Structure 1
Amino acid sequence: MDINITYARPDDDGPRSGPVKVGWLLNEDKGGILFDPPERVRSADMNKQHAKSASRCPAVINLESRYFSIACPYDMRLGFVRGAKGEAGLRNMLGDSSPVRGNKLGNVIHMVPEQEWRYPGRPTIQMSLPYVFITDEPVYLNQVAPFMHYRPDPMPGTIFGGRFPINLWPRPLMWAFEWHDTSKELVLTRGEPLFYCMFETMPQDRPVVMMEAERTPELENYIQLISGAVNYVNQTFSLFKAAEERRPATLLTPKRRS
């Protein structure tokens, strides 16, 4: 069943104009140096000399302006394995030369229980990330594969994301991967695009201004209010109305620079 929900703040005075301010932050400081700021997607090695160059096309410029890239924070080479009892698992193929210590690997990436896979024979793995996006206007975040980034060696599967309103549901993002060809290794490279975030605004032609957000007590309390709800209900979208009723009027505060 398709669900499409848009809530307006009680004090909304109709459609707005001008840029939409979207804030990003890390929900924890530990290891924060590993995580680069979201970067607006732009055509690499652009040719703008010719009037008909694609890099000067308004449609291309408009599309790219709505996508922000999240870089992979780790170097990994993973293999799919099954244990003695047939249980699905991950193997660190870099062994002792891996930048990520073996006892820390499970803290950042893990195999989803097999009964929760979308398709039989297609393992799902997830990477926990600290990125949180927040805004004070109705904005949907779409998490999608980095389809404008060329990989000489394609991944042995597909990335699947999701769509949710960040004005009501600011939560840490998760990277999810469906492993189609388990005979091939999954190679992740630090600094390469891990996924894109595309933002739907109201009206749709409004540009997005990205800024680092302050982790205020109000925002932290609100994130705690909705944190972990996915573990206890099957349809978190059903909680949006309740979240809106508990939401402070303002959650986005630009980061102060000393």
Structure 2
Amino acid sequence: MDFTVTFDRPEEGPKSGPLTVGWFLTKDKGAVLYDPPERLMFRQTNKTHSKSASRCPAVIQLESRYFVVKSPFDMQIGFRRDEQGKPALVNRLSTASPVRGNKLGDLLTLVNEAEWRYPDRPTVQLSLPYTFICDELCYVTQLGTFAHYRKDPLPGTIFGGRFPVNVWPRPLMWAFEWHEPEKDIVLRRGEPLFYLQFEGTDPARPVQVVEAEKTPELMAYLEHISGVVNYVSQTFSLFKAAEEIRPKRLLKPRVRE
């Protein structure tokens, strides 16, 4: 009986192996302040007992699928209204603040009061240069640091969000809804600021996050889609147009010498 033996190679290309997501900073100025995103993993935990939560497959699966972005700054911010009732931010650390007063305004923004979701809950935005890219369908979800304990909880909640980074790579920000504006917002450098979860078409595939090279093609594409939120109310309506002009490959892992 005749038979043929073949040695098929696994599928090659962007949809084989782990889902690879690239990260980069849109600005190089002060880049040393911004730590790379890290996988959510709790080290030095009890793993001696077979029933320990540290050895639970479900817990390990969950933690392995979240990535942590840490706060680059130390801040203590208060809220007040001036004599005319106009809302404003207060730098509680004053001259002791690690961030100079004239630079704080470049980082932290109090959203126009007319845009708050609730009249008694101010919205604050912290600008960040973290941007993510993927060469296949991939959604990023930004959410609060539910697995990290703070002795002094933040007086509100962060605005989460979900969008496809393969067609809409844009700098993330930390947006905060201030439920108790009488209490200060305290951020500490190195503490978790928010989590990220990446989803592809196959939920079983593992995810790896690598530093991306800021190639001319990537930066040109970023320029095409940047700033449109100031001119269009529903930016999701632009995804199709963005996909049509997108080069096939944008993610090139950075190799550091």
Query: Which sections of structure 1, spanning at least 5 residues, go unmatched?
Result: 1-12
CA distance in structure 1 between the aligned counterparts of 2:47 and 2:82, rounded to whole angstroms: 54
Instruction: Kindly provide the CA deviation profile for residues 28-58 of structure 1, in whole angstroms up to 9, marking residues without a partner as x.
Output: 1001110000010012432111111111111
State the partner residue of 1:104. Answer: 103
User: What's the counterpart of residue 191 of structure 1?
Assistant: 190
Corresponding position of 1:4: none
Give the greater-gyration-radius structure (CA). 2
The answer to whether the Cα contact below 8 Å between 2:15 and 2:136 also exists between their aligned partners in 1 is: no
Structure 2 residue identity aligned to 1:181:
E
Q: Which residue of the partner structure matches residue 138 of structure 1?
A: 137
Q: Does residue 200 of structure 1 match 2:206?
A: no
Q: Counterpart of 1:246?
A: 245
1:177-215 alpha-carbon deviations (Å, 9 max, x no partner) = 000111111100000000001111220111011110000
2:147 is matched with 148
Q: What residue is the counterpart of 1:39 in the other structure?
A: 38
* Amino acid in structure 2 at the alignment position of 1:144: L
Deviation string for 1:134-191 (max 9, x for gaps)? 0101010000001101000101111112000000000000110000111111100000
Distance 1:160 1:23 in 2: 23
Tell me, in whole angstroms, the C-alpha distance in 2 between the residues paired with 1:121 and 1:44: 40
Structure 1 equivalent of residue 165 of structure 2: 166
Aligned twin of 1:236: 235
How far has the Cα of 1:84 moved from its partner?
2.1
- Residues 24, 213 of structure 2: 8 Å contact kept: yes
Number of the residue aligned with 2:56: 57
Instruction: Encode CA deviations 1:216-256: one digit per residue, 9 max, x unaligned.
Output: 00000000100011111111110000000000000000102
List 4+ stretches of structure 1 deviating above 3 A: none
Tell me what 1:225 maps to. Answer: 224
Q: For this pair of structures, how many residues does the alignment match?
A: 245
- 2:89 counterpart SS class: strand
Instruction: Report the Cα distance in structure 2 between the residues aligned to 1:52 and 1:131, rounded to whole angstroms.
Output: 38
Separation (CA, whole Å) in 2 of partners of 1:19 and 1:174: 26
Q: Which residue of 2 aligns with 1:26?
A: 25
Give a deviation string over 1:57-116, Cα, whole Å, max 9, x none. Answer: 111111111100000000000100112211111000001101011111000011000000
Provide the residue aligned with 2:93 in structure 1: 94
> 1:141, 1:44 → 2: CA distance?
25
Cα separation, 1, equivalents of 2:251 and 2:45 = 34
Q: Is the contact between residue 78 and residue 181 of structure 2 (CA under 8 Å) also seen in structure 1? A: yes
1:69–1:196 Cα contact (<8 Å) kept: yes
Pair 1:52–1:17, CA change in 2 (3 A): farther
Q: Could you say what secondary structure the match of 1:64 adopts?
A: helix
1:10 is aligned to: none
CA distance in 1, matches of 2:108, 2:158: 14
- Match of 1:110, SS state, is strand
Partner Cα distance (2:138, 2:49) in 1:
36
Question: 1:3 maps to which residue?
Answer: none
Show structure 2 runs of 5+ residues with no match. Answer: 1-11
The residue type paired with residue 216 of structure 1 is: T
For residues 223 and 44 of structure 2, what CA distance do their matches in structure 1 show? 43
* SS state at 2:60 partner: helix
